[in-house]
Amino acid sequence: MSQVTLKHVHKVYEGGVHAVKDFNLDIKDKEFIVFVGPSGCGKSTTLRMIAGLEEITAGQLFIDNILVNDKESKDRDIAMVFQSYALYPHMTVYQNMAFGLKLRKFPSEDIDQRVKRAAEILEISDLLTRKPKALSGGQRQRVALGRAIVREPSVFLLDEPLSNLDAKLRVQMRTEITKLHNRLATTFIYVTHDQTEAMTMGTRIVVMKDGLIQQVDTPITLFENPTNLFVATFLGSPQMNILKAKLVLEGNKLVALLNGDEKKAIVFPDQKKRQLASKDYINKEVYLGIRPEHLELSEEGISAEIDVVEQLGDESLIYVKPKGIDKIIIIKAKASERYKHKQKIAIKFDASKIHLFDLENEASIIGFPHENRFQAKARNNTLVFGKNEWVLSSKLLDRAVQKTFEESMVVAFKPEDVLVKKADNCYKIHAKVDFIDEKSDYIACFAKVEGLSNYLVYRLKKEDKKVPTNEEAVTLYIPEDKVILYQNNERLLLKEKIYPNEAKCQIKLKGEKMIITLGNQKLILPKQENISEGEHTLRIKQEGVKVLFNKKIRKKYKFEKVRYPKNSLLKVSAYDEDKTGEKNALFVKINGFEQYVTLIVENNFTVYDMPVFKISLDLDAIEIL
Ligand code: ADP
Ligand code: MG
């Protein structure tokens, strides 16, 4: 067993680089998971935090359900292989592989067995007496892997292990590592910036950009159903073609008009039309994406002229200029067909394979949605949408940033969080399946909920025997902790439960003042009536607390300098934050409080720029019980 779980993991380097932001991932036992993304997106940092080589700024890391944030690297049962695998030049292959075990004082028979077994797995048994300089690049890389294998770790971490090899060897070692994973049957976490490596090796891929996870899924699903323009264009070679287009209705048909002078329409199949996220996109401009393999050169379609033809063995890449569009489109075609420079031709789009993206936020707007969203009404503590009535439980309200809701709100949940079997602490929805869209990896169910206009979308596994038929009535279950609420685009529920901000304190009275001792800190505030000396409970209100900003933050966000009474200040250290829109929920540690204290502030700043700071508490911000 070797599961790795990351919960809200952040990394902020000294100097303020926020390298990894709110990283959440469940890595299953024996998975081959790949982190991919452009250079600097935080892949190595994440891997190094898992390895224990880099401190975790905020969040939690579990290995086999045990919190290991504070466990030293050597106690984590993992082994890491780096891009620059320095072998000891004066030692033989055998000695290089045995070295780590010797340091750990393994008995020599045990070492001998492990080294020989690893050498067999890697097919380097005949090289054990050689020194590194007598090895090829690929052989050296195997020895580096061998050093990790002999440790028999439950998790392997590999950081761009092939990037020093030449192209041919890289392809070969790719297969070798995949085979190694099958043979060892342990969890692999593999970092690469190379999308081909990611697509060919991973059972699941984590696509990252700017420290943020963009999407996590199997290679085929990422390819078929990218959640945004970045994922769509980062994966796949050559890249997906992106053009601007206008969506319009022609009679009953949804069509896309390219900006060219011809105004030829691309007509979507009916099922595709039904997958458009919102009718608001009709008569609007969007990004239209199509992969080179889903375009064809033919007699009919968008007029174009061939620019360049590139032969690649049995296929060729044709670069064409569509008429009136200032952009080159790439088409993958069979090499047997002959095309030449300046040839006039037409491009045919496979409209069932078209991707559409919002022009502003670049999110995918057709196909499998990222989130199911429904307009709802809140009455007392009941949420009504369509024919559904959900009583908001205290467990759910524990995450709410405010206790009263406006009447109109949006209830949301992710397709992957919808369950088809009854489970504890779930909300129920009755729906009717409208149509099924079979993807390579899963089955997407588009269901209608009575009284609602948009679809409820969920996923079924391929191996699930019970695929519903069209029009079948289904009961679906949404776990309480997966429910998201929005009001005016602001998220109302935090990821974490909010604890009552309460702690025991000692109060002494002195003239018109009261001295409140909390942990190792003191507050001196004007005396309140009916407060006696002795032990009390201090409650800090979530809202109404003022933050003392340091110079760096004031400069960065152009905040005014504000003075607070010195005796009203309390030192806090940030644990995490959760931005809900305009507001920012800060989870802080204060000496004396057992749980995290949650402060909700209007200011838009990040605690990662200011991990330790002071807050000002006046009588309006606290209650003494
Ligand atoms: P990747 O492996 O995806 O290329 P890294 O995890 O190495 O990215 O880096 C992520 C970001 O963190 C980059 O902006 C990088 O400059 C920064 N960074 C990495 N290591 C350090 C460090 N030790 N100190 C400060 N910043 C760092
Ligand atoms: Mg790196």
Q: Whose CA is nearest to atom 13 of ligand 1?
A: 40
Give the pLDDT mean for 159-173.
85
pLDDT at 261: 56
Q: What is the pLDDT of residue 55?
A: 93
Mean pLDDT of the chain: 91
Q: CA 162, CA 178: separation in Å to the nearest integer?
A: 13
**Do the beta carbons of residue 573 and residue 516 sit within 8 Å?**
no
| Lowest pLDDT segment from 217-221, 258-262, 555-559, 618-622 | 258-262
Between vectors from CA 585 to CA 406 and to CA 624, what angle results, nearest 5°? 90
Tell me the best of 17, 56, 207 to mutate to test the pocket of ligand 1, counting ligand atoms within 8 Å of each CB and taking the most: 17
Q: Does CATH place domain 238-357 in 2.40.50.140?
A: yes
What pLDDT does 339 receive? 85
- The second-level CATH assignment, the architecture, of 4-222 is 3-Layer(aba) Sandwich (3.40)
CATH architecture of 372-491: Beta Barrel (2.40)
Ligand 2 center to residue 43 CA distance, Å? 6
pLDDT reported for residue 260: 66
Q: Which helix (H) or strand (E) holds 461?
A: strand 456-461
Class of residue 166 by CB neighbours under 10 A (exposed 0-12, middle 13-18, buried 19+):
exposed
Do the domains 4-222 and 372-491 sit in the same CATH topology, yes or no? no
Proportion of the chain above pLDDT 70, given as a percent: 99
Nearest CA to ligand 1 atom 26: 13
pLDDT tens-digit profile of 429-481? 999 999 999 888 899 999 999 888 889 999 998 887 688 888 899 999 999 99
DSSP lists the bridge partners of residue 600 as: 585
Q: Which residue has the tokens 């699941």?
A: 204
State the pLDDT confidence band at 250, using cuts at 50, 70 and 90: very high
**Residue 370's pLDDT band (boundaries 50, 70, 90)?**
confident
Q: Under a CB-based contact definition with an 8 Å cutoff, are residues 206 and 33 in contact? A: yes
Which ligand has an atom closest to residue 82 CA? 2
Q: Pick the residue with more confidence: 451 or 96?
A: 96
Q: Which residues pair with 345 in a beta bridge?
A: 304
- Which one-letter DSSP state was computed for residue 560? P
Which is the closest atom of ligand 1 to the Cα of 13?
25
**Mutation test residue for ligand 1: of 10, 11, 13, the one with most atoms within 8 Å of CB:** 13
Residue 162 CA to residue 176 CA, distance in Å, equals 11
What is the whole-number distance in angstroms between the Cα of residue 241 and the centre of ligand 1? 31
Residue 274: is its pLDDT beyond 60?
Answer: yes
How much is the average pLDDT of 219-223?
95
The encoded tokens of residue 191 equal 């970092």
How far, in Å, is the centroid of ligand 1 from the Cα of 609?
Answer: 16
Residues lying with their CB under 5 A of ligand 2, a single-atom ion: 44
> Whole-angstrom Cα distance, residue 422 to residue 248?
41
Residue closest via CA to ligand 1's atom 25 equals 13
Interval 124-156: pLDDT, tens = 999 999 999 999 888 898 899 899 889 889 899
pTM: 0.87
- Residue 168's pLDDT is 83
Cα Rg of the chain (Å, integer): 29
Strand partners, 317: 310, 332
Residue 326 has pLDDT above 90, yes or no: no
pLDDT bucket at 170, cuts 50 / 70 / 90: confident
Atom of ligand 1 nearest to the CA of 39: 4
What pLDDT score does 609 carry?
Answer: 83
Alpha-carbon distances, residue 176 vs 23, 122, 156, 189 (angstroms): 30, 8, 15, 15
Per the model's pLDDT, the better-predicted residue between 583 and 415 turns out to be 415
pLDDT of amino acid 328: 94
Residues 396-406, mean pLDDT to the nearest whole number: 86
475 within 8 A of 430, measured Cβ to Cβ: yes
Sign, CA dihedral 131-132-134-138, equals positive
Pairing of strands 302-312, 295-298: unpaired
Distance CA 135, CA 92 (A): 11
- Checking if the pLDDT of 223 tops 90, the result is yes
* pLDDT for position 262: 59
Question: Domain extents for the chain?
Answer: 4-222, 238-357, 372-491, 502-624
pLDDT value for 54: 94
Band of pLDDT at residue 95, cut at 50, 70 and 90: very high
- Atom 5 of ligand 1 has which residue's CA nearest to it? 42
Q: Cis (ω within 30 of 0) for the bond into 238? A: yes
The per-residue pLDDT for range 42-88, each reduced to its tens digit, is 999 999 999 999 999 988 999 999 999 999 998 898 988 877 677 89
The pLDDT, as a whole number, for residue 556 is 87
Per-residue pLDDT tens over the stretch 572-610 = 999 888 888 778 899 999 999 999 999 999 877 888 888
Q: Look at residue 488 in the predicted model and tell me its pLDDT.
A: 84
- Residue 336: pLDDT over 80: no
Residues with CB under 6 A from ligand 1: 13, 15, 17, 19, 37, 39-45
Q: Which helix (H) or strand (E) holds 93?
A: helix 93-103
